[in-house]
Homo-oligomer: A and B are copies of this chain.
């Protein structure tokens, strides 16, 4: 890859060819005052002739900024493909990043230890100017450590209460309330929940919402089993739930993948969905519209979440945002499809 590797023109080349000082070239190129119109025009034209593109490395060193933000995803590379959140979230981030000249550095780590290393590298290196804190854990050490490193960050759905960095939230509680109340209204009395791993704040939030609504409705809120946000986890959770008596007639799942797993297990056991078992998911992934029956779910907006959080992060980096800023995207909505409905035996 070296044959005709002539290095790209630098600002010196431009200045030289235009017969001006480097500083003038810099000012002209950056639309800064202090250069006569005529000189500016000449510099610009030379730059164009040469095909000059400012080196991001030089700029970066000088500006003490990487013009890059980091996203660390803690997930086994093997299941990365099954995660629709990732792509949509990245898509949203890019919408904000691109126009402002920033790039996104992605790091995939298979476990918490590797993820910590990932953050440390990105932050210690100053390879990025800020990071996204996503899928937060209860007592997550990352926010504190980013603060200690002096690394700007934004928290995505950090749960209720204070957070040391700006946050972006999408409330899903109201939609959960609506979904569960609806289930009760159409006759369900035994409603179960397949939670996500309770080390995640979003898993806890959904569980809390479930409990509080059921209590409110005078129903038993204790029919809960912990899944792992995967299809397989849902499939297996279904077996546990369907073994209890009285058997639940409806299940609210912490995410869609789990819900599809539950639904398929029920179907595989010869049950009818929703007649024998109603299933409701959470996320609103496209797949929910492709399964049969189609999945009733609570639809979130990963893309908007990405877009907003990137906006906040850049504002924070550039100093125009207080640390306690809070943003939110429109609440998650209940999307009624066909996996939930009245129980056959009321």
Contacts and interface: CB of A to CB of B under 8 A. Distances in A.
A229 to B, nearest CB: 13
A163 interface: no
Contacts of A323: 1
Interface stretch (A32-40, A60-68, A243-251): A60-68
Interface string A186-205: 00000000000000000000
Residue with the highest number of chain B CB atoms closer than 10 Å, among A54, A89, A94? A94
A44 interface: no
Interface in A91-140: 91-92, 94-95, 98, 103-109, 118, 120-122, 124-127
Contact of A124 (B8, B91, B105, B267): B8
A270 interface: no
A324 interface: no
Contact of A90 (B55, B66, B108, B291): B108
A90 B106 contact: yes
A222 B125 CA distance: 57
B61 A58 contact: yes
Interface stretch (A12-20, A76-84, A173-181): A76-84
Contact of A303 (B78, B86, B94): B78
Given A54-B125, A57-B57, A264-B290, A78 B94 contact: no
Interface in A42-62: 51, 53-58, 60-61
Contacts of A27: none
A80 B75 contact: no
Interface residues of A, number: 74
A81 B126 CA distance: 29
A285 interface: yes
Contacts of A95: 77, 108
A302 interface: yes
Contacts of A68: 105
A330 interface: no
A21 interface: no
Contacts of A61: 57-58, 60-61
A152 interface: yes
A231 B1 contact: no
A55 B317 CA distance: 18
A332 interface: no
Contacts of A91: 75-78, 80-81, 108
Nearest to A95: B77
A152 B319 contact: no
Given A80-B87, A81-B88, A84-B82, A105 B103 contact: yes
A77 B323 CA distance: 28
9 contacts: A1-B319, A8-B150, A53-B125, A54-B125, A55-B125, A77-B94, A81-B303, A104-B106, A105-B106
